[in-house]
Amino acid sequence: MRARFSLLFLAAGLLALRGAGAEWRLDLLQESLDRPPKGFRSALTGQGAPGDWRVKLDEIPSLLPALNPKAPRPRQPVIAQLSQDPTDERFPLLIYEKMRFRDFALHVKFKLMGGRREQMAGVAFRLQDTNNYYVVRASRLGKTFRFYSVRQGRRSPPVGPSNVSFETNRWYDLDVECEGNLIRIRLDRKPLIPELTDYTFREGHIALWTKSDSVSYFTDLRVRYTPRIPFGQQLVKETLKRYPKLLGLKVFAVPPGGSRPQIIGSDDPKEVGKPGGKVEAAVIQRDIPYAGKVKGRMWVTLPLHDRNGEPIAAARIVMRSFLGQTAKNAVIRATPIIRSMEKRVLSLEDLFR
């Protein structure tokens, strides 16, 4: 089954991220029946009873045509949301907690099984918490396929078509791709929702989603993704691209719970995690610059401030020196670089996210 799933994903070719280098897939064959899958947490947006998420057996169409059309289809594990609490503003979530995704291509199959008040199924993504996320969902009774941005528990105006017919007891393929601020969504490989641009959430968890008393099944959940680069390292990468004449750049900060600064971003990624020295500690603690000259190179270490102006890190910038170069002049040259970096940093926590 693993080989078949991988083949289907590659053959579809719809959501291959440029530069995506990893894939996560939920292997339900390793899960216990009548229990939630491991690594997931049941949660709720709105009011009412929590969802009842369990692994069940159900018929799943084979990728290959059956030799005997009348033969029973094999039963395979799926995730089922079985609670039928009819509370209107009730949105059960099953959140995958082990990973957060930034740029990714998600695929899942869903099936609408029943519900008197609602018959919906969808996925939430770039989820921050139960009140802040994106969601795309299908509604059989409403005949809609819609995207929302949920902020502080309130939904944005819907985006997506009406008069979309869905059947019960039929599997549908849902694909979601996020790349930067671009969001692309397909239903059964068709782009029913136009490409979206949204800046609200940059990364987050993924979750299965339903509404009210909807009974919905899910399976074949997998995500191709670009492995996350810690923000400190990403900040160095972006700065070096913006200032290509720099000879080197490192960012030092004291990790939460630590006492000494360490490298959290470097022009040599292998150095990340190595300890800083007395100079970096003094620059952060005393909020002062430091400059030195070695063999035609100028080394300038400046404090990096948060949005409140407090020093939270130190950036060591290496530049070419010139005849008559002074420490004061070097600090002046390096200051615009630091200012551009500070625009991207709100807090110390930002550097470690």
Domain definitions of the chain by residue range: 2-225, 231-352
Q: Which two tokens stand for residue 314?
A: 């130190």
Q: Which two tokens stand for residue 84?
A: 């039928």
Q: Is the pTM of this model over 0.75?
A: no
Which pLDDT score is estimated for 71?
A: 62
The radius of gyration of the chain from alpha carbons, rounded to an integer in Å, stands at 25
Question: Whats the size of the chain, residue-wise?
Answer: 353
Of 3.20.20.220, 3.90.226.10, 1.10.287.1060, 2.60.120.560, the CATH number of 2-225 is 2.60.120.560
Which pLDDT score is estimated for 64?
A: 55
Going by C-beta distance under 8 Å and a sequence separation of 6 or more, which residues neighbour residue 76? 1, 28, 29, 57, 58, 59, 60, 219
The DSSP string of 75-133 is EEEEEEE------TTEEEEEEEEEEEESSEEEEEEEEEEE-SS--EEEEEEEEEETTEE
Q: Counting beta carbons within 10 angstroms of the beta carbon of residue 327, is it exposed (0 to 12), middle (13 to 18) or buried (19 or more)?
A: middle
Which pLDDT score is estimated for 189?
A: 96
Kindly give the confidence (pLDDT) of every residue in the chain, 353 residues in length, as a single tens digit, with 9 standing for 90 and above.
333 333 333 333 334 444 447 999 999 999 999 999 999 999 999 999 999 999 999 988 765 555 566 666 789 999 999 999 999 999 999 999 999 998 999 999 999 999 999 999 999 999 999 999 999 999 999 999 999 999 999 999 999 999 999 999 999 999 999 998 899 999 999 999 999 999 899 889 999 999 999 999 999 999 999 887 788 998 999 999 999 999 999 999 998 888 899 999 999 999 999 999 999 999 999 999 999 998 889 999 999 999 999 999 999 999 999 988 899 999 999 999 999 999 988 888 888 87
Which pLDDT score is estimated for 294?
A: 87
The third-level CATH classification (topology) of the domain covering 231-352 is Beta-Lactamase (3.30.450)
CA 197, 23, 127, 253 torsion: positive or negative?
Answer: negative
Asked, colleague to colleague, whether 2-225 and 231-352 share their fold, the answer is: no
